[in-house]
């Protein structure tokens, strides 16, 4: 299914009526996303490539890591697609955890992976990023491409600018991200980021180290109680 709304949105000014229509469509998308995810509980968001297959070591790493995070009581939330997103959702299901996806409508439609308890479709990436950030108490960055790095730096920028709390950001794949981390060191050297801004994330390939950081920084620091329950309102046609 070809979706032209992103092209129209970036195509400069339109008539006032079209702009108003876009504003209402965006508002309805956000409301639909908030309604769908209101009862999922505290989440850990996993970012990663859609292109890795089941037999790849990064797929297996992502699946194992997500299983350990789900054991802590968190819902695992991803972009809902294949590859490492699927691996993360699958890992949650392996241990009886809850698994959620925020899927995106693309010219070549990205279908939800089969390991989701719940998913919602978004027209625009910026709305999806709002939802992936809003419900999360940690962000896990697996190897990926432009989209993964976009989501990683979005979360990092929000923490750096104090728009959200200092939740853990964990980068898996030391070898894969080597050059990226070297460039961050260049930014630090040249003063385009702060001297301590590289302390906002942990780089590791050790799942137990990541789990310990989430336990300390997400659960203990914020007094988080995973699996908080909210009562649906029947008059709003809500359901878990």
Find tokens 């089941």 and name the residue: 54
126-140 pLDDT per residue, tens: 888 888 898 899 999
**pLDDT tens digits, residue range 187-197?**
999 999 999 99
- For the chain, what is the domain count? 1
Residue 121, in any domain of the structure: yes
185 located within any domain: yes
Q: Is 102 exposed, middle or buried (0-12, 13-18, 19+ CB in 10 A)?
A: buried
pTM for the model stands at 0.87
Rounded (5°) CA angle 110-116-121: 45
Tell me, what's the pLDDT at 23?
82
pLDDT (0 to 100) of residue 107: 56
- Residue 233 located in a structural domain: no
CATH code at position 19? 3.40.50.450
Residue 88 to residue 80: CA distance in whole angstroms? 9
Which regions in the chain score pLDDT beneath 50? 1-2, 235
pLDDT at 1: 42
The rounded distance, in Å, linking the Cα atoms of 240 and 230 is 9
pLDDT for the residue 2:
43
Q: What is the pLDDT of residue 31?
A: 86
Take residue 104 and report the two structure tokens written for it: 């995106």
């Amino acid at each position: 299914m070809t979706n032209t709304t992103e092209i129209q949105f970036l195509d400069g000014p339109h008539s006032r009526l079209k702009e108003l229509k876009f504003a209402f469509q965006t508002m309805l998308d956000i409301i639909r996303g908030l309604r769908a995810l209101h009862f999922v509980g505290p989440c850990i968001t996993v970012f990663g490539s859609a292109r890795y297959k089941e037999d790849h070591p990064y797929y297996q790493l992502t699946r194992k890591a997500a299983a350990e995070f789900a054991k802590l009581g968190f819902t695992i939330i991803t972009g809902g697609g294949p590859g490492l997103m699927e691996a993360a959702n699958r890992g949650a299901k392996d241990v009886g955890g809850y698994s959620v996806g925020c899927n995106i409508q693309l010219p070549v439609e990205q279908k939800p992976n089969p390991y989701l308890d719940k998913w919602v479709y978004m027209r625009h990436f910026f709305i999806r990023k709002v939802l992936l950030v809003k419900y999360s108490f940690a962000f896990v960055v697996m190897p990926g491409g432009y989209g993964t790095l976009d989501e990683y730096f979005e979360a990092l920028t929000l923490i750096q600018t104090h728009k959200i709390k200092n939740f853990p950001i964990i980068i898996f794949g030391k070898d894969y991200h080597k050059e990226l981390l070297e460039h961050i060191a260049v930014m630090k050297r040249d003063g385009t980021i702060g001297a301590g801004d590289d302390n906002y994330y942990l780089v590791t390939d050790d799942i137990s180290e990541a789990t310990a950081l989430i336990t300390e920084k997400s659960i203990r620091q914020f007094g988080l109680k995973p699996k908080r329950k909210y009562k649906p309102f029947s008059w709003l046609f809500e359901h878990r």
